[in-house]
Amino acid sequence: MVLDYYNLKEQPFGVTPDPRYLYLSRTHREALASLAYGIQSGRGFISLVAGPGMGKTTIVRHLLQQLEGSARMAFLCQTLCQPEEIMRALLRDLAVTDDSSDVVRMEEQLDAVLLAEARAGRKVIVVIDEAQNLGDSALERVRLLSNFETTTDKLMQIVLAGQPQLGEKLASPRLLQLRQRMSIVARLQPLDREETSLYIAHRLRMAGYNFSDPLFSAEAETLIAKYSDGIPRNINNICFNALSLGCVEEQKTIQPDVIREVLNDLDFSAKWKREPGRTGRRLIAWTRRKSATLRAYFAWQKPVATLAFLIVLALILGVRRGADAGSSSPLRVPLASAMEVHASASTIVQSPGAASVARSVQPGSKAFSAVLADDHSDGKQSASRPVARTDRKEREQLTTEIDTDELWKRVKKQNSNAEVELARMYLDGTTVPRNCEQAHILLQAASRKGNTAASELLNDESSRCEK
């Protein structure tokens, strides 16, 4: 819905590190150039340090994409692991299938791969993302990887990308040897006001926006730059929610009031007074309005379908009766009959005991057929009755069915008197078919509840059933 409303081909403010959406600000461009130069110069160890959400992973993936075809690459992102697991993950990314648990064996396998790639004239690049999570022992294992070298070249280029905690670890005296091997340290800085505006425009352009109108007003972009702290991930979150709320508010150009409401919900700044999440409530209300519109649009279909069914059924029955009687115009009476049945059904639904009667006059039932048949009998009699008509025998049968239903409802509520009354009906076999077995079960249940009438009927039950 949001993409269609703003004429976008895809979501411009996604959460994945897509290299296509990388905006090269001044610091991003410098960091990318430093990484590329360090790899081409064969410096061995390079680090990229930046706060969370600054785009470290996106820059690294963009770099690997540029070097694809001229280098063999491994990308490690699971850094909460032991030193041996680092080696095993590295071999797995380099397509070495022999999963050995011996460190010496793994080093031999890695050395063979590195020498083969060097003879083929290809570099081997290893990127370790979220490197701040590596323990000291794991970082020491990474340092030992620099020992894979010839007299003239390093066989492996290693990029450590991580948050500021990585820089703190590298500055520790315990990791002095690793720090000394770190030839280049690249850093990323937050975007300023102008870069924030260019960043938003770049992502919208990549998503297919035509810029016939500005999607964000200048005041809205100023608020985004201020309260996102220039961090790309924060900018994405604000803009994503602003597009969602702007679609609900039908704003083709996002205004500052929408940004303030989004900031309130995301709570990016303590300066904004916290209120209940209006963005979520408005999205829900908007969805409900759309659903209500659809329900109202289709609400007329059910009664029309019911009436059409009754008319068609009456026409079919009327054609058959007309053919049997040799009538020259069989369609006139059934049509009127169908309309009367429809009115009768409406009267029944609104009357007391409607649920039981309605079950007895469902289309296709015997009582429903009697209603249609009686419509053809006596016009005077038909006009004097407001509801469905049956003859005396069928009316008695219908009343019995209703009484039986009511008794069964009481039986389900453990009413012993209802059990005895039903049992009598099954023993007599006058209003319902005789069923001695069912009567026996009902009487036993009532007797267990202490009903004396049930005990008396149990005594002469066998004599009644023998008749």
pLDDT (tens digit per residue) in 194-207: 999 999 999 999 99
Overall average pLDDT of the 427-452 stretch: 81
Closest CA to 83 of 159, 136, 148, 157: 136
- DSSP H helices in 171-270: 176-181, 193-206, 218-227, 232-249, 256-266
Between residues 408 and 23, the one the model is more confident about = 23
pLDDT, tens digit, 9 for 90 and up, residues 53-95: 999 999 999 999 999 888 999 999 888 888 888 888 999 999 8
Q: What is the pLDDT of residue 273?
A: 46
The confidence score (pLDDT) of residue 455 equals 79
Q: Would you state the pLDDT for residue 278? A: 52
Q: How many whole angstroms separate alpha carbon 267 and alpha carbon 272?
A: 7
pLDDT at 153: 87
Closest by CA to 222, choosing from 253, 256, 245, is 256
Cα separation, 465 vs 435, in Å, equals 9
Q: Which pLDDT tens digit goes with each residue over 437-448?
A: 788 888 888 888
The whole-number pLDDT of residue 33 equals 95
Query: What's the pLDDT tens digit per position in 213-263?
Result: 999 999 999 999 999 999 999 999 999 999 999 999 899 999 999 999 999
pLDDT of residue 194: 96
> How far, CA to CA in Å, does 320 sit from each of 306, 309, 391?
22, 17, 22
Task: Assign 289 a pLDDT band (cuts: 50, 70, 90).
Answer: low
Residue 205 main-chain phi, psi, to 5 deg? -65, -40
Q: pLDDT tens for residues 304-357?
A: 777 777 888 788 877 666 655 554 444 444 444 444 444 444 443 343 443 433
What local confidence, expressed as pLDDT, does residue 412 receive? Answer: 78
**Dist CA 190 CA 123 (whole Å):** 32
Task: Give the model's confidence band at 99: pLDDT under 50 very low, under 70 low, under 90 confident, else very high.
Answer: low
379 vs 170, higher pLDDT: 170
Query: For residue 462, what pLDDT is reported?
Result: 65
DSSP string computed for 159-173: EEEE-HHHHHHHTSG
Strands 157-162 and 123-128: parallel
Average pLDDT over residues 112-129: 92
Whether residue 454 has pLDDT greater than 90: no
Q: How confident is the model at residue 299 (pLDDT cuts 50, 70, 90)?
A: low
pLDDT for 377 beyond 80: no
Does pLDDT of 383 surpass 90? no
Of residues 302 and 1, more confidently modeled: 1
User: Please, what is the average pLDDT of the chain?
Assistant: 78
Whole-angstrom CA distances from 365 to 101, 350, 361, 362, 390 are 77, 20, 6, 6, 13
Q: Quick one: average pLDDT of 426-437?
A: 78
Instruction: Using the predicted structure, report yes or no on whether residue 276 has a pLDDT greater than 50.
Output: no
